[in-house]
Amino acid sequence: MHIHEWPAHERPREKLLARGAAALSDAELLAIFLGSGLRGEDAVATARRLLAEHGPLRRLLDAGPAALAGLRGLGPARACSLTAALELGTRHLAADLARGEALTDPARAGAYFARRLRGLPHEVFAVLFLDTRHRVIAFEELFRGTIDGAEVHAREVVKRALAHNAAALMLGHNHPSGSSEPSAADRAVTLRLKSALALVDVRVLDHFVVGDGPPVSLATRGWV
């Protein structure tokens, strides 16, 4: 049965218009993007097959344009469109952080770190620099490492903070293993950076660890 023959309230586009995007399943959202399915399949069936074979959703979307282009049901054109859509989402989130409003909600900052760092095959340590009113100045990836660690140099973090004339900052790094639980080393480097930055009157507000689930805030745990 073609999607147009489904009851109106079950069609992905009609459901989105009536109830919002959050009401749709991963397959339904992907089906709207696909527009049509492979021969003999509707778009939802093709989307479900893609998720069953290459999912879950985050794994599929983190595959990268070259890998997406080789998947049956996507191809180069759809892979490029999907990658562009994901980048638009990242830039929208970045624009939200750069509107000149004080960054007071840890969840917003955590979501931004997650979007930038999740899915990377190696560990990356990044910093979000803030002014005296905790408005965003810049986001920089400062250190790259291996699958299980990145060496962090306090001197370089202090140097970049001074270059941006930052009054405060937030730290973040990913765990390629998928675990977002902070390690003893994560806690130690947080305290080391906090001490070094305090010497130049720059506050460390939080440190986020990004894994498969929601990012973990060390400040929420009382470790900053």
Residues of the chain with pLDDT under 50: none
The predicted structure's pLDDT at residue 44: 92
Q: 183 in helix, strand or coil?
A: coil
pLDDT for res 63 = 82
What's the pLDDT at 39? 87
| Lookup: tokens for 132 | 């005296």
Per-residue model confidence (pLDDT) at position 170: 96
The reported pLDDT for the residue numbered 149 is 63
The pLDDT score that the predictor gives to residue 1 is: 57
Distance CA 137, CA 210 (A): 21
Q: How many residues does the chain have?
A: 224
User: For 46-55, which contacts have Cβ atoms below 8 Å and span 24 or more sequence positions?
Assistant: 46/73, 47/73, 49/73, 50/74, 51/26, 51/27, 55/26
122/101 Cα distance (integer angstroms): 32
pLDDT at 59: 81
